[in-house]
Amino acid sequence: MTGDIRSLATGLFRERFGRAPRALAVAPGRVNLIGEHTDYSGGHVLPMAVDRHVVVAFDAAGGQASRFCSADFPEMAEFDQRAPSSCGAGHWTNYVMGPAGVFSSQGRDIPAIDAAVAADLPKGAGLSSSAALEVASGLAFLSTAGCAGEVSPRSLALACQEAEHRYAGVKCGIMDQLSVACAEDGKAMYIDCHNLFVKTVELPAAMAVLVVDSGVPRKLAEAAYNQRREDCESAARKLSKELGRRVRLAEVTHDELNEFGRSALDKTELRRARHVVGEELRSSRAVDCLRRGDLEAFGELARESHRSLAEDFEVSCPELDKLVAAACRIEGVFGARLTGAGFGGAAVVFCRADGVGPISAELTAAYRARTGIETRPVLVRPSAGARVEQLR
């Protein structure tokens, strides 16, 4: 599949710029298995990069400005990579100019590039196409500047996270950019988002991972996401006061929350905190389950995660709830939950590897019957992180 995307990006580059690109920056999407909405509270997450990609074909530009075109959008974006200005919430060009702006503000001399973007990663479906676009574009700029080797994947991820804060206005955590930049082929990553330590986790061969788009576009998700982050931060501040030490919300224990939560927090903060504290426990248990191959227990944790995201964190929607409920009713499905930021987007479904065909068909039919929405589960495999491939 990514082969076609490579030729699409290369062909588009030739067509728009009249020459061949010098290299390709290839970045995978990611799906989060469990540990949702805990990264910005210093918790643990378990994402994996998927075998769907964004490809940026690029070369140094002749002029001073950078030019980006995309197979998915008609316009050609032109901007000064040393001092780009945001195009307003939701615009795709924020994700390509952002990393260049951050590198420039770090004092790097970032040259202008011409670039063509193509992807087989669905947009807005919870697979982090935006982080993939940031990381691929960031690599294209660094490679043209001749300093790709000096910037570690982790620093690249941090720069792209900052770009998302500054240019897209989303105060995201580090999970997406880190998994896209640092993933290892064949493995999921258990990330401690406080110190960015990563342990790799192998998925049992008996389990398949399906990503299923709910077909509900994420509306006003940026504002709602930032609000969730604020709720968590104010809960952490108040609990820190009670506990007499500075705590991240994800390190608060159940007992501490039970003791101080009701008196110190308002109702909303208490629910957000309950989700984060519970989810942190679930993710560490989930890793144990995967290591032991206990897929039934892993699936139960996924279902609990979804309930908590829907009821306490309030980031689900009726369609995602129906999708998850429909999936969990199917024989051979261990569990399912919304994945990524929520507010629409996708669910991740964990099922028997030897039942993917019939399970996908049954889920498509069940979701259609409940909502009238057509969807097609996508089987994803753990893949390697972003890289540059030289063409000449």
Active site residues: 176
Minimum CB distance to ligand GLA smaller for 162 or for 176: 176
Tokens at residue 111, please?
């040259």
Minimum CB distance to ligand GLA smaller for 175 or for 323: 175
- Find the part of the chain contacting ligand GLA (CB under 6 A) among 34-42, 211-219, 246-254, 358-366: 34-42
Tokens at residue 352, please?
């028997």
Minimum CB distance to ligand GLA smaller for 58 or for 313: 313
Distance CA 392, CA 378 (A): 34
Nearest approach, Cβ of residue 216 and ligand GLA (Å):
16
Angle between helices 129-145 and 153-163 (to 10 degrees): 120
Tokens at residue 364, please?
């498509």
36 binds ligand GLA (CB under 6 A): yes
**Residue from 54, 188, 341, 386 that binds ligand GLA (CB under 6 A)?**
341
Angle at 99 between CA 97 and CA 104, to 5 degrees: 95
x/- binding map, residues 265-304, to ligand GLA, per CB under 6 A?
----------------------------------------
Nearest approach, Cβ of residue 45 and ligand GLA (Å):
7
x/- binding map, residues 169-208, to ligand GLA, per CB under 6 A?
---xx-xx--------------------------------
Nearest approach, Cβ of residue 71 and ligand GLA (Å):
23
134 binds ligand GLA (CB under 6 A): no
CB 293 within 8 Å of CB 326: no
340 binds ligand GLA (CB under 6 A): yes
Nearest approach, Cβ of residue 221 and ligand GLA (Å):
9
Minimum CB distance to ligand GLA smaller for 57 or for 338: 338
CA distances to 66, 97, 248, 375 from 263, rounded to whole Å, are 54, 45, 18, 45
Nearest approach, Cβ of residue 310 and ligand GLA (Å):
14
**Quick count: other Cβ atoms within 10 Å of Cβ 28?**
32
**Pairing mode, strands 113-119 and 66-70:** parallel
CB 121 within 8 Å of CB 340: no
CB 333 within 8 Å of CB 361: no
> How far is CA 222 from its chain centroid?
14
39 binds ligand GLA (CB under 6 A): yes
CB 58 within 8 Å of CB 22: yes
Minimum CB distance to ligand GLA smaller for 83 or for 196: 196
**Residue from 13, 17, 40, 367 that binds ligand GLA (CB under 6 A)?**
40
CA distances to 35, 177, 279, 345 from 341, rounded to whole Å, are 11, 14, 14, 8
- Site for ligand GLA, rule CB under 6 A: 32, 36-37, 39-40, 128, 172-173, 175-176, 340-341
